[in-house]
Amino acid sequence: MDAKTYNLQQFDHGKYSRDQLAFLIEKGTIEFQADHGLFVDGKAGPKTRKMINKALAPKKRHPGLPTGKGMFIRSLRHCGTEEEMIKKCNWADLSWLCFQRIWQYEDESKPSSWYNTSRMIPYSQAMHDNNIGVWIWGFPGTTPDQQKEFIEAMFTAVDKIKAVGVILDPESPWLGVHHDVAELFMQNFMAEANKRNTCVGVSSYGAPWNIPSFPWRGFSRDAHFGCPQIYNVSRSLGKKFPAKSVQRYQDLGFPFIVPASGAYGGTGAEMTGLLNDTPMPEGAVLWWDWVNASNGDKKGKERWKAIAGFQI
* pLDDT score for 70: 98
* pLDDT score for 279: 98
* pLDDT score for 281: 96
Q: Of 35, 56, 77, which one is at a domain's C-terminal end?
A: 56
Q: In the chain, pLDDT over 90 holds for what percent of residues?
A: 75
* CA dist., res. 87 & res. 64, Å (int): 24
pLDDT tens track for 141-173: 999 999 999 999 999 999 999 999 999 999 999
Asked, for residue 34, whether it belongs to a domain, the answer is yes
CATH of the domain at 158: 3.20.20.80
Asked, for residue 88, whether it belongs to a domain, the answer is yes
**What is the extent of the structural domain holding 20?**
3-56
Query: What is the mean pLDDT of the segment spanning 252-259?
Result: 95
On whether both 21 and 126 belong to a single domain, the answer is no
On whether both 227 and 281 belong to a single domain, the answer is yes
* pLDDT score for 19: 83
On whether both 143 and 31 belong to a single domain, the answer is no
Structural domain total, the chain:
2
On whether both 86 and 33 belong to a single domain, the answer is no
pLDDT tens track for 28-82: 888 888 877 788 888 888 888 887 777 676 678 899 999 999 999 999 999 999 9
On whether both 35 and 113 belong to a single domain, the answer is no
Asked, for residue 281, whether it belongs to a domain, the answer is yes
Query: What is the mean pLDDT of the segment spanning 17-30?
Result: 83
Asked, for residue 63, whether it belongs to a domain, the answer is no
Asked, for residue 193, whether it belongs to a domain, the answer is yes
Asked, for residue 253, whether it belongs to a domain, the answer is yes
pLDDT at 124 over 80: yes
On whether both 193 and 275 belong to a single domain, the answer is yes
On whether both 125 and 37 belong to a single domain, the answer is no
* pLDDT score for 256: 97
Asked, for residue 62, whether it belongs to a domain, the answer is no
pLDDT tens track for 168-213: 999 999 999 999 999 999 999 999 999 999 999 999 999 999 999 9
On whether both 164 and 78 belong to a single domain, the answer is yes
Query: What is the mean pLDDT of the segment spanning 282-311?
Result: 90
User: Which one has a higher pLDDT value, 140 or 108?
Assistant: 140
* CA dist., res. 135 & res. 166, Å (int): 5
* pLDDT score for 297: 65
